[in-house]
Amino acid sequence: MFARIITGKMKIECIDEAVAIYNDSVVPAARKQNGFKNAHLFTDPKTGRYRSITIWETEEDMIAGDISGYLKKQLDKLTVHFAERPIIEHYVYSAQG
C-alpha cells in the first residue's frame, strides 16, 4: 500500500471549520477514488500544524489523484484555511502495528 502525507499550518481560528470540511467533503470524495483505503487528519490547536494521511491500495491509484486534478480540488476546499502552502509527500506504507 501507499500513503500520501500532507503537512502544513492552518490558521488557528479555522481549525474546527477545516476539520468539518475534511470530514464532510474531502473524505467522502476520497471514498469515490479507486484504491482509496482510509484517511486520517491530525491537528495541533496550539500551533495550527496539521498532517493528513491517506492510504491507497496502489501507487498508481494514489498518483492518479494528482494527475486527474482530484487532489487539487480537495486542497482548494481548504485553501482559505491554510496559513502556509501544504507540503505533499508520497510514501510506501511499509508496516502497521
> What DSSP string describes 19-54?
HHHIIIIIHHHHHTSTTEEEEEEEE-TTT-EEEEEE
Q: Is residue 66 part of a domain?
A: yes
Residue 61 has pLDDT above 90, yes or no: yes
Q: Is residue 87 part of a domain?
A: yes
Residue ranges making up the domain that contains 71: 2-92
Nearest to 33 by CA among 7, 5, 69: 69
Q: Is residue 97 part of a domain?
A: no
The structural domain count of the chain equals 1
Q: Is residue 77 part of a domain?
A: yes
Q: Is residue 43 part of a domain?
A: yes
Dist CA 87 CA 4 (whole Å): 10
Nearest to 78 by CA among 11, 35, 36, 18: 18
CATH of the domain at 72: 3.30.70.100
Q: Would you state the pLDDT for residue 65?
A: 87
Average pLDDT over residues 66-72: 92
For residue 71, what is its C-alpha cell? 487532489
Query: What's the pLDDT band for 66 if we cut at 50, 70, 90?
Result: confident
pTM exceeds 0.85: yes
